[in-house]
Structure 1
Amino acid sequence: MKSRRRDEIVQFCRENTLLVMTMFSVFLGVVLGFGLRPLNLSQETLQLINFPGEIFMQVLKMMILPLIFSSLISALAQMDAKESGQMGASTVLYYLSTAVLATLLGIFLVTVIHPGDPSIKGTDIAEAPSEGNVSPLDTFLDLVRNMFPENIIQATFERMQTTYVAIRPKIASKNGTAGNIIVKRSIGMTKGMNILGIIVFCTGFGIVISQLGERARIVVDFFVILDAVIMRWVVTLMWFAPLGITCLICGNLLELDDISDIASVLALYVLTVCAGLVLHTIITVPLMYFFITRENPLPIFKGMIQAVVTAFGTASGGATLPMSMQCLEDHCGVDRRISRFVLPLGSTINMDGNALYEAVAVIFIAQLNNVQLSLAEVLTVSITATIASIGLGSVPAGLVSILLILNTVGLPVRDVSMLFTVDWLL
């Protein structure tokens, strides 16, 4: 019996070599990260440890643009326009539903667990950088603006974002004093790929090609072959994932200033967020899958485990997009035309974790300041967190999103700096 069990394990390892190596790299990264902390390594050494992970992340991000272009256009070009419309509507509705459920779960847990104890607030908390009077309306409008970029080439490296500029009037007031500073909105371009705009362009391009029939056959074939080339390249690059993930995790753990802060001050907050993420992953989403399909969700979990481990190691859903596509098509048997449309869109607007994290963070800060939020304010947090998670999902650390919600409900922004220590972990 033991021999048979051993043979099964060996067979599994042979068939899932990359998965086993990736899972081991996560474990190795954590062990090395904690094990090397007492050595107080120099900044140059930390830089060298992080370097392979940095290159791995750059390579993954390099593949996002060609992958979205080739996969979306090739998938939609081979589908009927009516089917594409139905699939798009169903996908967006599902993503919005999961984001709302994640936000409500986060609000429920932070209210029940109540991690925000005012007594743990230090007196020397640094003032967090302010983004001005960030408006939920501006966030929503930026989302729509980015859906329709004026230049598709520019969208590959810049996106539109509303900023707030302080202007002091040149003309003095009647009593001779300078006028009050006026904050004006300014719509400009900021660095970062406008993935949403690229997705909208590719979606329209693919649907139009599908309507042209045989006249566009050569164009369809081009994108189908390009898609196959990109995916073959991605599969090869993923063999470097174990080294990259080990370095990323180890480097991030070594760069944390004081891990005792996590254990002593923010442990309950970390527990609340992690509990919400785990419950959403193992209960909310599987239940939705079961009610919609009436099928067991466990085979999907098993088929997607490689992508899940990669996402954990890289802390990036966008960088994990190629692996997610491969797992969904090869292990879960999903039609490539569906996966090539649903996954790029999901990696941009389906930010359940962001929505939950931001809702918990805002109410946690309210609890720290002994502020009792009314039902209307809690609903405002829920709606704003959902919108912000979609519109600002690509902003690192979720800082702008959290500041947006704090300003919406009138809470102080200075306590955001307390969350920096555990932000990478969460």
Structure 2
Amino acid sequence: MVAETVPGSPKPRAANGAGPPSAQPSGCCGGLRVPRVRSCLRANLLVLLTLAGVAAGAAVGLAVARWGPRLSPAQLVAFSFPGELLLRLLRLIILPLVVCSLVGGAASLDPASLGRMGGWALLFFLLTTLLASALGVGLAFALNPGVGTQARETQQAQLPPTKEVLDSFLDLFRNIFPDNLVSAAFRSYSTEYELNNSNMTLTKSPLAGSGRMNILGLVVFAMVLGVALRKMGAEGELLIRFFNSFNEATMIMVSWIMWYAPVGIMFLIAGKIVEMEDVGQLFASLGKYVCCCILGHIIHGLLVPLIYFVVTRKNPYRFLWGIVPALATAFGTSSRAACLRALVTCCEAEESRVSKHISRFILPIGATVNMDGAALFQCVAAVFIAQLNNVPLKFIQVLTILITATASSVGAAGIPAGGVLTLAIILEAISLPTKDISFILAVDWLVDRFCTIINVEGDAFGAGLLQCYVDRHGVGLDGLGPELTEVKDTVAVVALSPEADPLILRKVQPGGLGPGPTFRSVGLGAAPRGISG
């Protein structure tokens, strides 16, 4: 029988699903679009909440500053108290983060297992990170993004006293080599001058301590301890795993803290707006800070290909064009983990011509220690916050910024806004207030994408330089050492929680990048660590 069609009713569809085009899209696209939107919102929930906190903080601050009564200093402290809790939580996590991450990071970078080629690649990554730090400091002093913004109450009383250059250098080395590790956790050395009223002379107190954590001393001790544990071999492996497990637990705690960040950012920004004399100048300074960071990333992104050209005498932009898909993935996801597979594929493509034995070893190393973009933005942010508080930075403080930013890249946190947490470490090292980190967090969602692009670009050019060295000197796989022949996975690791970096939860096979449940960190014999963007 032939089915009759009732006027106004939909026409029957063929058995194979074919039918009028207008009969299919409505339910199909709607059914697919909703889960995609829901998944996208779930993946970017923290960013959206942070932006909402920024907008709400700006609205509340402007409303109180314009229509509300003028707040006294005590009332302003109470008004910003939820933001103060965020800063206290971030400072709480600095000590375990610095010690555990740097011990694990230094222990994973064993020169004996890296070989000569891996050592050269590591040196390239550290030099480019130092170059990015110097570029960030130079741009911040040239553009002065924080100059001109003043609070309602003068902060001249908070300025540190002027010290002699010799005393500043001596204090730097006193902090690098502390005499007591326990006191370094809450005190740093700073020469103080006492005025003798009887004869009007200054008396030095070179061993007086300030109430700030000695970050430089902890960084140096943690890195030396990590190298010493690696030299112990099997006997030190147990303690290395302890520090790595401690580090992973710290990362999870920080990820929990970051879920409170939108609330804290809202009250920090609202309190700062109420405190400022000229709110428009404050937002203008924040815009100049973002432009300064982006300009620095662009300049550094052009300097790295120039280094590639000077060393290899090859066209760097042809190589750069080959990794454009990986750079686009880095900008879209703001995650080194998400674009690692795309970067390996691009480097092994015909345009780049990097051997898989090199790319699948060097790229994970770069993802561990190459933090050019993060180091640049941290240095710009440190100078910006100093200018925002009218605190002039001396040469020793600038040198401390460069050392701390470069050393912290070895143990950078693989967490949302992990670079901002490293910035808190730098601010502690140079005795600057951490309360203005809220402004950095407000725009970190944008700046961090450019940081990830620069980090990924540095990883790719490091692999390209190593490939050129191998081709030029005729080094075979035997000369590269066993670590470059394949990415090893010798130690079983426990799958981490979803808060951990997804790069740790992937396995690299010698013949391909299969999505296995675990990933052994770059074949270096270390337990897995978080890797930031």
Cα drift, residue 195 of structure 1: 1.6
| Aligned 1:278-317 pairs, distance under 5 A | 278-281=294-297, 283-288=298-303, 294=320, 295-296=323-324, 297-304=327-334
Cα drift, residue 24 of structure 1: 1.9
- Higher share in helix: 1
Structure 1 unaligned regions, length at least 5 = 117-124, 171-178, 305-326, 366-380, 399-421
In the alignment, the residues of structure 1 paired with residue 87 and residue 56 of structure 2 have an alpha-carbon distance, to the nearest angstrom, of 18
Is 1:204 the counterpart of 2:224 in the alignment? yes
Larger Rg: 2
Describe the shift of the 1:357–1:164 C-alpha distance in structure 2 as closer, same or farther (beyond 3 A): same
| Aligned 1:93-112 pairs, distance under 5 A | 93-106=127-140, 108-109=142-143
Contact 2:136 2:377 in 1 (8 A): no
Q: Which amino acid aligns with 1:241?
A: A
- In the other structure, the counterpart of 2:419 is none
Cα drift, residue 387 of structure 1: 2.6
| Aligned 1:111-122 pairs, distance under 5 A | none
In the alignment, the residues of structure 1 paired with residue 296 and residue 43 of structure 2 have an alpha-carbon distance, to the nearest angstrom, of 30
Q: Which amino acid aligns with 1:94?
A: T
In the alignment, the residues of structure 2 paired with residue 20 and residue 51 of structure 1 have an alpha-carbon distance, to the nearest angstrom, of 23
Identity percentage of aligned residues:
22
| Aligned 1:225-374 pairs, distance under 5 A | 225-254=245-274, 256-259=275-278, 263=281, 275-281=291-297, 283-288=298-303, 294=320, 295-296=323-324, 297-304=327-334, 328=336, 351-355=379-383
Describe the shift of the 1:148–1:253 C-alpha distance in structure 2 as closer, same or farther (beyond 3 A): same
Is 1:51 the counterpart of 2:81 in the alignment? yes
| Aligned 1:66-215 pairs, distance under 5 A | 66-81=96-111, 83=114, 90=124, 93-106=127-140, 108-109=142-143, 128-129=156-157, 131-168=160-197, 179-182=199-202, 184=204, 186-215=206-235
In the alignment, the residues of structure 1 paired with residue 154 and residue 52 of structure 2 have an alpha-carbon distance, to the nearest angstrom, of 38
Normalized against structure 1, the TM-score is what? Answer: 0.62
In the alignment, the residues of structure 1 paired with residue 156 and residue 269 of structure 2 have an alpha-carbon distance, to the nearest angstrom, of 26
Higher RCO (C-alpha under 8 Å, 6+ residues apart):
1
- In the other structure, the counterpart of 1:371 is none
In the alignment, the residues of structure 2 paired with residue 397 and residue 41 of structure 1 have an alpha-carbon distance, to the nearest angstrom, of 27
Deviates more, 1:1-10 or 1:239-248: 1-10
- In the other structure, the counterpart of 2:68 is 39
Deviates more, 1:198-207 or 1:213-222: 213-222
Describe the shift of the 1:284–1:51 C-alpha distance in structure 2 as closer, same or farther (beyond 3 A): same
Which of 83, 86, 93 aligns to 1:63? It is: 93
Instruction: Name the SS for the 2:191 alignment partner.
Output: strand
- Which whole-Å deviations, capped at 9, do the CAs of 1:276-334 have from their partners, x for residues lacking one? 344224x2344456667844545444444xxxxxxxxxxxxxxxxxxxxxx55577689
Instruction: Name the SS for the 1:351 alignment partner.
Output: helix
Instruction: Name the SS for the 1:153 alignment partner.
Output: helix
Structure 2 unaligned regions, length at least 5 = 1-24, 309-319, 342-361, 404-425, 441-533
In the alignment, the residues of structure 1 paired with residue 237 and residue 432 of structure 2 have an alpha-carbon distance, to the nearest angstrom, of 44
- In the other structure, the counterpart of 1:409 is none
Describe the shift of the 1:16–1:231 C-alpha distance in structure 2 as closer, same or farther (beyond 3 A): same
Q: Which amino acid aligns with 1:58?
A: R
Normalized against structure 2, the TM-score is what? Answer: 0.51
In the alignment, the residues of structure 1 paired with residue 54 and residue 175 of structure 2 have an alpha-carbon distance, to the nearest angstrom, of 35
- Which whole-Å deviations, capped at 9, do the CAs of 1:360-394 have from their partners, x for residues lacking one? 999xx9xxxxxxxxxxxxxxx99677436448843
Contact 1:22 1:241 in 2 (8 A): yes
Q: Which amino acid aligns with 2:139?
A: L
